[in-house]
Amino acid sequence: MSATPWPRRGPSSKLPPADSLTLPVDPGHFLAEYWQRRPLLVRNAIAGFQPPIDADELAGLAMEAEIESRIVEEADGRWRLSHGPFVEQDFQRSGPWSLLVQAVDQFIPDVAALRQLAAFIPQWRADDVMVSYASDGGSVGPHFDYYDVFLLQGHGERLWRLGQHCDGNSPLLADSDLRILRDFHCEQEYLLGPGDLLYVPPGLAHWGIARGECTTFSIGFRAPARRDLLARLADEVLDNSDGDILLADPGRAPAARAGEISAADIDGARRQALALLQAECAPRWFGELVTEPRYSIEATSVDSDDLAALFDGAALLCRDDSGRLAWAEQRGQLHVFANGASFTTELDLLPWLEGLCARDEADCKGLDADHPAASELLTFLIESGATYVE
């Protein structure tokens, strides 16, 4: 294995057209029967799959300082974890080992296109596409994740063993930097070849073992922690609530014991606090949270020449593979969220924005250059780093 440089952007050449990158399953049936419930094996999910990146190109990415990468190896029952960036000598190892590179979709357009396989899952749920290489017998051990993952086999073959359902109380191996399960009970076993895909729901123990050299594309879907949801919603409520409205207790019973806070007092206070959380508020708290980028995004400037080129049709507005973009409609307003920031505008811009989200690029000729909201929206999308002018 030797490292090969790989361009940050480039034309898609190894994959079928984007509109054909769809799992050969019924979306409604999958969501009702499998999503977050049980695993699903899809043979030949991409017919004649030609992986868009090979092991040497993956090693090239792992040598770059700004890209998160790890090497995992196991010997005599002990697991060792190393963090990148790596040098070429790090890839010359004896014995089973694995290289894992996070967020490869942010650098390789063809890898980003693989997210289309599960386009029926909302875009804001998507996390990243991790790509891994393993030598013969290479593995990261039996483990479980708190998120959904679609495991697409690239080069070679990998044996996947599926086990029991786990949670935060499941015992892990001690003295290891890896979250490897101490106990694993194999219940199903599948050998995946190029183009095969295995969906694994959260909490299900799984263990992938390379059969010869292989690469695997892990398309992950995360969700925010519930405590983070509560914190953001509470902040939104506190920012927009009337501080002069006090706790009310009409019809209360006489105090029975001096100094006591009764169970009824606590219950009444809790119900009134929860009533604030249940009141309708703008979706900013949610949209900003779920579009926060996992990695830092550089701010981009925009000038009048950029806007003029977009409105004249001389340039396109394109989605950045590393950016996160979503929107919500509420009370006749359009709320746009990009990389953790928000912008509220007029609803008549929604058809154009929806097209941008669907096709990852948009022609702006149909937008009215004299419409102040159009210029403001384009400026927001570019400065957030979620889009760029091409």
Considering the chain, tell me which residue range(s) the CATH 3.40.366.30 domain(s) occupy. 288-389
Give tens-digit pLDDT for 150-196.
999 999 999 999 999 999 999 999 888 899 999 999 999 999 999 99
Say what the pTM is. 0.90
Task: Give residue 254's Cα distance to chain centre.
Answer: 54
Give the pair of three-digit tokens for residue 11.
């034309």
Give the span between the Cα atoms of 293 and 341, in whole angstroms: 10
Place domain 18-221 in its CATH homologous superfamily: Cupin (2.60.120.650)
Give tens-digit pLDDT for 329-374.
999 999 999 999 999 999 999 999 999 999 999 999 888 888 889 9
**pLDDT at residue 14 in the model:** 66
pLDDT of residue 299 exceeding 70: yes
Match 């009048």 to its residue by tokens: 304
**pLDDT at residue 294 in the model:** 84
Give tens-digit pLDDT for 51-77.
999 999 999 999 999 999 999 999 887
**pLDDT at residue 370 in the model:** 81
Higher pLDDT, 49 or 19: 49
Give tens-digit pLDDT for 88-147.
999 999 889 999 999 999 999 999 999 999 999 999 999 999 999 999 999 999 999 999
pLDDT of residue 19 exceeding 60: no
The answer to which of 16-20, 146-150, 260-264, 385-389 has the lowest mean pLDDT is 16-20
**pLDDT at residue 11 in the model:** 44
pLDDT of residue 10 exceeding 60: no
Considering the chain, tell me which residue range(s) the CATH 2.60.120.650 domain(s) occupy. 18-221
Which of 7, 9, 5 has the alpha carbon at shortest distance from 360? 9
Task: Give residue 42's Cα distance to chain centre.
Answer: 21
**pLDDT at residue 8 in the model:** 47
**pLDDT at residue 331 in the model:** 93
Which of 389, 292, 388 has the alpha carbon at shortest distance from 338? 292
| CATH number of this structure's domain 288-389, picked from the four choices 3.40.366.30, 3.50.50.60, 3.40.605.10, 3.30.420.270 | 3.40.366.30
Encode 309-332: b = buried (16+ Cβ within 10 Å), e = exposed.
Answer: ebbeeebbbbbbbbbbbbbbeeee
Give tens-digit pLDDT for 230-274.
999 999 999 988 888 999 999 999 998 999 999 999 999 999 999
Give the pair of three-digit tokens for residue 280.
């309708």
Q: How confident is the model at residue 9 (pLDDT cuts 50, 70, 90)?
A: very low
